[in-house]
Amino acid sequence: MNNVRPESMARITTAELANAFIDEQVKEVREQVGDKKVLLALSGGVDSSVVAALLIKAIGKQLVCVHVNHGLMRKGESEAVIEVFRNQLDANLIYVDATDRFLGLLEGVSEPEKKRKIIGGEFIKVFDEEASKLEGISFLAQGTIYPDILESDGVKAHHNVGGLPEDMQFELVEPIKLLYKDEVRVVGKALGLPASMVDRQPFPGPGLGVRCLGAITRDRLHALREADAILREEFDLAGLNLKVWQYFIAVPDVKSVGVKNDKRYEGWPAIIRAVNTTDAMSATIEEIPYELLHKITARITAEVEGINRVLYDLTPKPVGTIEWE
């Protein structure tokens, strides 16, 4: 299959169309792969999760999934990957907890671009190390989707996993490369993946690393993770999770004075960001009911150690980007 979506290809909007697509891809993957092994970096994001589920259906244990927890995941995310793929789908899953390794390298680093480079570079190193321990891998699966191809002008750099002979190039397996994001979600549901995984909002590669603003500390990262979990829980309960494209908390490296148990103490602010967009090039602010904002504020300030203020970011894009860093 080439990198151009045929004009005749119907948009996948129903379970019936999704199942037809799945059957076709299962057949194509089996023909391409034969009895060889395929390696996949499974982040737990929508695209990699759907590719994993599709390949498990096609080739079962011939697929080797590597999930790297860089310590910057949202609350419960790595646990969800293990539960769905290892426990429910019986995947051949390698789980690597590299939290200490990543946080050690990030200690004292406050410049956003430097943080991103450290996280991205180290992720590739960890993935390479795991790949080099494996034998007989001939293919590399990727969660490439059609907008990736359009954005990169049809050229997607592919990474030769290190620790293996330089001249060994992996052939790519990209079963969802002609699908748009909404189609990927329909296919994911048809494959039986939980809605929490399939409807998951966009999450940056560096994870909470770009939402724990400035130099990351474990205590502030923990506070951010807990506050973000409360925000997501309350949005789910209010039905806003289906209405708002992206919502999260950012915690800056700033302290202000507060009062707790009749005593003054210093704490961080938690900043809520909730935006809607069609293309991520521009974004509008979602108007959250005040009653809900009060509830979220009360919960975060009462339940999260170290946070004593909650703010709502009302800045559209442009002027402000969606992420803070």
pLDDT digits (tens, 9 = 90+) for 15-40: 999 999 999 999 999 999 999 999 99
pLDDT at 162: 45
pLDDT at 1: 55
Is residue 151 scored above 80 in pLDDT?
A: no
pLDDT at 201: 84
Which of the listed CATH numbers 3.30.200.20, 3.55.50.30, 3.90.480.20, 3.40.50.620 matches domain 15-198?
3.40.50.620
DSSP string, 268-303: EEEEEEEEE-SSSSSBEE----HHHHHHHHHHHHHH
pLDDT at 154: 41
CA distance 42 to 91: 11
- Average pLDDT of the segment spanning 239-245: 92
**Are 15-198 and 211-312 equal in CATH topology?**
no
Contact residues for 185 (Cβ-Cβ < 8 A; gap 6+): 46, 198, 199
N-terminal to C-terminal alpha carbon distance within the chain: 38
3-state helix, strand, coil in the chain (%, to 5): 45, 20, 40
Is residue 161 scored above 50 in pLDDT?
A: no
- Tell me the Cα Rg of the chain: 21
Where are the extended beta strands (E) located within 56-158? 63-69, 92-97, 137-141
pLDDT at 152: 66
- All structural domains of the chain with their residue ranges: 15-198, 211-312
* Of 221, 202, 139, the residue nearest 174 (C-alpha): 139
CA distance 202 to 87: 25
- Average pLDDT of the segment spanning 165-181: 81
Which of the listed CATH numbers 3.30.300.10, 3.40.50.300, 1.10.10.60, 1.10.1060.10 matches domain 211-312?
3.30.300.10
Give the pairing type, strands 246-250 and 263-276: antiparallel
Do the Cβ atoms of 53 and 89 come closer than 8 Å? yes
Is residue 76 scored above 80 in pLDDT?
A: yes
E strand or H helix that includes residue 190? helix 181-190
- Among residues of the chain, what percentage have pLDDT more than 70? 94
CA distance 125 to 130: 9
> Mutual orientation of helices 112-132 and 99-106 as an angle, nearest 10°?
150
Is residue 167 scored above 90 in pLDDT?
A: no
Write out pLDDT tens, residues 254-298.
Answer: 999 999 888 898 999 999 999 998 877 899 999 999 999 999 999
Average pLDDT of the chain to the nearest whole number = 91
